[in-house]
């Protein structure tokens, strides 16, 4: 069977009981993504780095598609969690990259006064597959050589 688009367990997470994402209703755009392990997200302090929440997942797609990672709509109000990058972008060539096998994570800040605990298996966000277009004069020929943040290298 030809692989068109979907999720797989990333290397190193094969025996961790990771659930593949699902849509909860037939008209949902997003696939619900769960945390791969328990994690504490500390209350925000100026200058701190976001907390990366592991998913244990990688994603494959067609050449003209991208996967966008969005926060859960309830996270800011209920848990004080906001995504550091607003929307995560996963390109096709992130899949199985040599640095991390394409394992994607969510980058969160916690704007509450107290630390927030995320439990393994808790839904932390959603992933949406989307088609994208390029300009008439596009000439991109570079190739990804690594994982997180590698497109600027």
The yes-or-no verdict on residue 46 having pLDDT over 60 is yes
Tell me which of 14 and 149 has the higher pLDDT: 14
Beta bridge partners of 34: 123
Per-residue pLDDT at 67: 98
| Total number of domains in the chain | 1
Q: What is the pLDDT of residues 107-153, one digit of tens each?
A: 999 999 999 999 999 999 999 999 999 999 998 877 757 655 555 55
Look at residue 142 and tell me if it is in a domain: no
Integer Cα distance of 26 and 62 in angstroms? 22
CATH code for the domain in which residue 106 is found: 2.70.40.10
Per-residue pLDDT at 141: 79
**Parent domain of 84:** 6-133
Look at residue 103 and tell me if it is in a domain: yes
Integer Cα distance of 117 and 38 in angstroms? 7
Q: What is the pLDDT of residues 66-99, one digit of tens each?
A: 999 999 999 999 999 999 999 999 999 999 999 9
SS3 131: strand
Look at residue 152 and tell me if it is in a domain: no
Per-residue pLDDT at 146: 60
Look at residue 149 and tell me if it is in a domain: no
| Rg for the chain, CA atoms, rounded | 16
Per-residue pLDDT at 1: 82
Beta bridge partners of 69: 88, 127
SS3 84: coil
Per-residue pLDDT at 149: 59
Look at residue 1 and tell me if it is in a domain: no
Per-residue pLDDT at 87: 98
Look at residue 150 and tell me if it is in a domain: no
β-strand pairing of 51-60 with 6-9: antiparallel
Token pair of 13 as six digits? 């997470």
Look at residue 48 and tell me if it is in a domain: yes
Look at residue 102 and tell me if it is in a domain: yes
């Amino acid at each position: 069977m030809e692989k068109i688009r979907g999720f797989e367990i990333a290397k190193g997470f094969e025996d961790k009981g990771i659930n593949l994402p699902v849509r909860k209703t037939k008209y949902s755009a997003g696939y619900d993504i769960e945390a791969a392990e328990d994690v504490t997200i500390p209350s925000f302090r100026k200058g701190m780095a976001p907390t990366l929440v592991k998913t244990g997942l990688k994603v494959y797609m067609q050449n003209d598609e991208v996967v966008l990672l969005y926060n859960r709509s309830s996270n800011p109000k209920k848990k004080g969690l906001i995504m550091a990058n607003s929307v995560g972008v996963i390109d096709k060539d992130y899949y199985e990259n040599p640095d991390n096998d394409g394992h994607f994570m969510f980058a969160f800040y916690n704007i509450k006064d107290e630390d927030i605990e995320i439990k393994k298996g808790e839904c932390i966000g959603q992933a949406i597959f989307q088609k994208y277009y390029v300009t008439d004069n596009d000439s991109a020929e570079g190739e990804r050589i690594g994982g997180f943040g590698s497109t600027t290298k």
